[in-house]
Structures are given as structure tokens and as C-alpha cells.
Chains A and B, each alone.
Chain A
């Protein structure tokens, strides 16, 4: 076997993780600062009108809001690293449990949307790139631009109008019918998986029917981005030197496109997927509002409206950490696929 000249995936992983720490620090600091910008403190903001002054002071002390800012900052950092986000002010739930309970819903939605996006975006992108400047290409590009231009909630609205009152085919709100929600045992939190595990086909079909519209809505948004990216990459790759060299060896056009161009064009898609996480999270938030999907986004809006800054801080911190984690994960996948990246 060849001598290992490339650095192993492991050492790459370690290096990459090391680079992540400053980013996490900055993000956490940003969240901290943002939350402190609001006048007063979280306790008064949330419960100001409901409790007497001493009770407020007591709560404040209990939550540590009368300590000097620096101390608060450090304790916040420590808590964040241990994933301890405290308890919400308004209803005294541990923020962590808010996240886990609703996080599964958001996760399910996001995964389904990603699936839709990949199928829609990548296939159309490859087709459009292969048939450049034909009507198919133009139509595909237009579809891509439109899917980006139409806000998620507008698409959701249209789909609801179409499949709700007009055609009456699909449910437009919630994750599942109340009966199913009540009866289905929660193992993973992902209802599709849970219903498969429980062998409950009725529940499965119910859950899937509820999932279709939101997933398609969110998926189309991201799919448009993938479509344009894949198309551009494919065009560039087809002009590349090694493609020309392959043609010079008599490799057939279809083989050239599929084996050389497609694969190479898809590599940057992985990277972009990482960047899309931010877009996806924002879109998930909006989709959840549109379809009454009980995810974290909905919770965020709820607590924000109630001025429960502790819960809000916890949720946002969680989001920030998720974004960082995913970008690191994406880098790993990239290094795994593209052997050149491992070279330090």
C-alpha cells in the first residue's frame, strides 16, 4: 500500500475542532451582549407587572442578575458549555427540556426539507447544467430563482389554500392528528421513526400527511439554492482541463459528464449545505409559524413575545452552537470526500 502521505482524517478533525473555539466564544459573547442590551433585567421584563418589588428582587438574586456583569458573563459561558441554560422565567421550565421536546419536531421538519431540497435541487441542477441554454435549462433556472424569491410563508400559504379548502387533501396544521399525538409512544421524538418503531401504519400515514406540506415548503426554498449552485459548478467542471483530457482519450460524452463532471460538481454542494444551515433554521422558524408546527422556532417566538429573555437566551445559544457543530461536521464530510483537503 502507498505510504500515507496525506494526513489522516483524525488529525484533520483535531485541528478543525481547535479552530472552532474562538468562533464559539465570539458567538456566545454576542448572545450575551444582545440579551443585556434590553433595558432592565430579564426578571423584571417578564414578570414586572405580576410580582411585588421584593419578590422580583428575590427572584433576581436567585437567578444571579444582581452580580457584576463580568461574573454573569463567565457563569454564562460555563453554563453554556455544560449545556445548562437555566429555567424559563415565565413558566419555570428547564430550557433544556424545551429544547429537547420541541427540537425533535424541528429536526424532523428540517431533515424532511433537506431531502426534498436535495432531490429537487440537485437533480434539476444537473439536468439544467447538462442541457445548457435549452428551454429545459431556462425553465429550471427560473424555477430556482422563483423558489428563492417566494417567501416560505407565501409558498406555505399557497399550498395550504390549494390542499386545504380547495382540494381538501392534506392537513395544514400540526404534526399529527390529536389522537395520534396522544397515543404514539415517544421514543426518538421523530414521529416518523416512532411510528415505524411502533409498527403503527395508521400513525405513520397520518404523520407523513402532516409532514408533506411543511417539508415541501421549506425544501423548495433550499432546493432553489442547490439548483443554481450545482448548475454553475457543473458548467465550470465541464470546461475543466481534466474533462478535456478525458475527451482526448475518447471517453464518451455521457461518461465524461457523469463520472467526471457530476461528482466533481457536487463536492461544493456539501460545503454550501453547511452554509445553508443558517438559512434553513430561519426558514424553519417561519415554516413552523405557518403550519403550526410545534418546533423550537415556535417556542422562540412564544417566549420572545412574553419577554422571557432567559428562555430566549437559552434557545438562541443553542442555535448558535448547532450552527457551529454543523459547520464542523460539514468540513469533516468534505475532507472525507475530497482527499486534497486533508493536506495541511
Chain B
């Protein structure tokens, strides 16, 4: 008298990717699930990139502890450092033409870079996201005007824009972290604006929103949940990649002389400009190390941003393809069956589960 429970497989093995085990960290686990199931390569690039970023964050935070000297210190205990000295035990990365220690400048440079870039990204978000929301929700003339302005800003060569703004601001605010951050902010605001606005607009028109409304969801819930979801999916990637770009822009500004004044803080771009003059004489350490620092930090951020994209974007994601082992065919290959006609006798018994 056995009873058999019906149902085609229980919920745990049906659709969801990671079984919804109740308990702590369910939300985090669900969000992290795509990372675990992604292919090997995106995972490794994500870890590598994250490692690089963490390294520089540590350098920035612990700069006074790690750097042996201050960023513009050219002597110690009354003894002046060698000018353009080779890398050695005392100065791991050598010294530059002003007798400052290259290694210390690189370390403090990471602090500058992170300060500026972080501020710039935060400012851009604070400006771009609300504007995007406003524009998307209100539509009409305001929307069109904002879009036109943002598109023009976007089309303009970003470096020129940053230079001009940095230059103009430096007259009023001096050439410090804030000026640089603001100059960079202006360049990136249009991107956040665009992304957020597109999320709002597409949410209004997507079929899944219509479906949700048909099921009875209130418009406010729909908008906030879906917009939030869309934005959360795209903004982190955008912010990371923008941060990478911002570092390059900051360095470019510094290289041209419109960035941060050398007396205020150490900056890699500025150091590279100085190093250009050294190149003719064959002095390579003044330029190589700051340059490498830029490359590694940008690389780290880009890797994180891109693998996040690969991992989170369901369209690009390639699930791990498992090798399938087909169990052997039960029963011999009775290929003796002729074309349909007179029914042959019943085939081999019991094709049971192997």
C-alpha cells in the first residue's frame, strides 16, 4: 500500500541556481553565487584585480608606515640625498632630480590617487544619479535639455574638458585634491546620468514591468524595485571602470602640469613629466616606478570591473559546462527492426534505469 508523492522534482533542484538554504548570509550567498559558478578565468581575473586594488589601498592607508621618507623630503639628519641616485639599499627606487626618494613618492602617490579618485567618483554619483532619475521620471522638455547637455559633455574630448576646468578652478581653489577631483567629476557625470536615466526609462517600457503591474504590483513598488535592481547591477561596474579611467585622467593632468602641485602631495603623473627630462640621460628609475604604479592600479581596477561585468551579466556569463557521462545503453542494439510495417514482437524487456 505504498503512496507515491507526485510532483516533478522538488523546488530545490528546479530553477534556482543556488538552492535557497535558509539561514544567515542567504542574501550574500545568492549574490555571490554567480561568482562561484562562473568559469575559471573570470574568477581568477577578479581575484587578481581585487588583490592589486587591495595592495594599493593598503599602501595609501599605511603610507606613513610604509614609506621610509616623506614625499618631498630631500635630506635626512642633515645629509642631503644623492641627486638622481641609482636604486640601492638606502633608496629602493632611487632618487630623482630634486633628491627626493622615488619609493616614498610612489607610496604617497597612491594615497593621492585614491583620495582624488574616490572623491571624484562620489561626486559624480551624487550629481549624475539624481539627475538621471530626475530626467527619466519627469521626461518632457527638462529631460530633453538635460540629455542634450550631457551628450555634448560626453562628446567633448574629455582631457580638454578636464584641463580647462582644472585650469579655471585652480585660479580660485588652488591646485589641490579638490580641484583635481572636481575637474574629473565633470568628465564622468554624463555616464552615470545616462545609465540611470536609461534604467528608469527602460523600466517604464519593459515587458516584465507590464507583467508585474498586471499581477497587481503598485507602480511605486515596481519602479523602485526594478530601477533599483537595474541601477545596482550596472553602477558598480561603471564606477569601478570610471575609477580606473579617473586615475589615468589625474595622471594626465599631472603630466601636463594642471594637476596637483608638487608641494601639496605626491602625484605619479607629475613625476612622469619630470622623468621625461631624465630619459635622455638614460635615467630610467624616476619614470619606470611611478608609471608601473599607474599601470598596476588601473589594471587592478579594470580587471575587477570587467570580471564583475562578466560574472554579473547573465547574457555574457558562460556557465561551467560539465562533462556528461552517458550510461551505457541497456539492452543490446536491436537494430534488426525493419522499416515500419508489420509489427515485430515486443522488444527487449525492461529498459530500467541503469
Contact = CB atoms under 8 A, between A and B. Distances in A.
A and B touch in the complex (CB under 8 A): yes
Interface stretch (B74-82, B98-106, B145-153, B221-229): B145-153
B237 interface: no
Contacts of B282: 161, 165-166
A285 interface: yes
A38 B291 contact: no
Interface residues of A, number: 49
Interface in A209-235: none
Residue of B244, B279, B298 with most partner-chain A CB within 10 A: B279
Interface string A153-191: 110011011001110000010000000000000000000
Contacts of A323: 155-157
Nearest to A159: B279
Contact of B276 (A146, A277, A290): A290
Contacts of B334: none
Interface stretch (A26-34, A97-105, A195-203): A26-34
B272 A26 contact: no
A259 to B, nearest CB: 25
Contacts of A160: 276, 279-280
Q: Is the interface of B mostly helix, strand, loop or mixed?
A: helix
A84 interface: no
A39 B173 CA distance: 13
Contacts of B302: 145, 148-149
Contact of B272 (A38, A138, A151, A164): A151
Contacts of B281: 165
A146 B111 CA distance: 22
Residue of B157, B252, B295 with most partner-chain A CB within 10 A: B157
A154 B272 contact: yes
Interface string A35-67: 001110000000000000000000000000000
A149 B295 contact: yes
Interface in A277-322: 277-279, 281-283, 285-286, 289-290, 300-301, 304-305, 312, 316, 319-320
B232 interface: no
Given A151-B294, A157-B287, A157-B291, A26 B160 contact: no
A285 B273 CA distance: 14
Interface in B82-100: none
A17 interface: no
B299 A327 contact: no
B320 to A, nearest CB: 12
Contact of A150 (B148, B275, B291): B291
Nearest to A27: B152
B167 A285 contact: no
A26 B164 CA distance: 17
B47 interface: no
B108 interface: no
Contact of B157 (A150, A166, A319): A319
A279 B306 CA distance: 20
Contacts of A151: 248, 251-252, 255, 269, 272, 291, 294-295
Given A149-B298, A164-B280, A320 B168 contact: no
Interface of A: 22-23, 26-27, 30, 34, 37-39, 133, 138, 145-146, 148-154, 157-158, 160-161, 164-166, 172, 277-279, 281-283, 285-286, 289-290, 300-301, 304-305, 312, 316, 319-320, 323-324, 327
23 contacts: A23-B148, A26-B148, A37-B168, A133-B39, A148-B298, A149-B244, A149-B294, A149-B298, A150-B291, A151-B272, A157-B287, A157-B291, A160-B279, A172-B280, A279-B157, A281-B157, A282-B157, A286-B252, A286-B256, A304-B163, A305-B257, A312-B164, A324-B155
